[in-house]
Structure 1
């Protein structure tokens, strides 16, 4: 697999050049990770009607290049960097609010949280992060399958990729696809293979070197499994 353009590269190019192509890629990045960021903001006790606005503000800062100007792979895993950046953003917002209430006097305000709260925050962020990567890989796979099998074909095949509980038999699938049962099994196998490739590609965008991909894939699977077992939302 060719190692793709990473999120570090997207951030660097967007903040340095601000070209249309880079901004488009950065916009896609923001769209992909909107939910993890909004989840953290919501768990901080921000009023529901402000969550969307604050999430947008955070990403606007990212797109304008001020907050992430010195983003580098040496900052660690991209997900860790993004979470730390969000915490800094929220701390800065808290300082501004405090200053406003005190008539403009700017003072340093630290966000004090116990370790349990911080751990829960990281867990929720990681869960939604993992889901974002998974969903993006499903979306890419779906687009590929639609070109080959159309909307109806993807509709029935999708259950063999993300369905829960019982799915239709391969015999029924073969009828829906207009092929033999053996052909249906081959189609499902190829689709799952493409999904694994797409998921690997999504994960590769969040690390700084190829050798880190397998490590992140393991983390992603364990994170999703943990959520499934705990039933947390």
Structure 2
């Protein structure tokens, strides 16, 4: 992608894929900016905003639900767990049309909430949170916190969340990447150019009758940089979680 982002359409056909050709970096970047009417970086910021909010809220909801299912005698808890596992089997594409009808009825179509709210729900996050709580949060520690007078909310936020940090990083990464890569949901929900994420924006560029593939690849390369930075920044926490799980 890095090499191809420097090429023009003829260069992509006439030169080997792993060998650079004429330097078209500036020309491709200019093409991206002109075609998107200088909205490209706004689309990248939209993707970052959608993914960040969905990742933070979805992680908190997932570990809270997993904690409740693992440590409390919830009426119908087994049914809820079965529903969560069933949710892992459904691809998001099957739910997009029902979600659109629901949000259209609520008057939330073409708003940021139409993308953020569905993205906050993660059956995988709930499942992983429950498994990690069962393995990493001892009942004795919870009982000690309650004997010290801590409320359930304080026990959760002051004790449980500290123990679940590696799992939370993993869940956050999964939700962040899933929201970033989600294409069909924002394509159906959003009509405004200002609200588009970078995935939908680049799709519009590819649907043009004469797309400049080098420019599209450069846009994809620039759009994936926040994901690379996120993985590099959270790598040590993820590795710590893997090591902790191995020891346990």
TM-score, length-scaled by structure 2: 0.30
Q: Which structure has the greater CA radius of gyration?
A: 2
Q: Which has the higher contact order (CA 8 A, sep 6+)?
A: 2
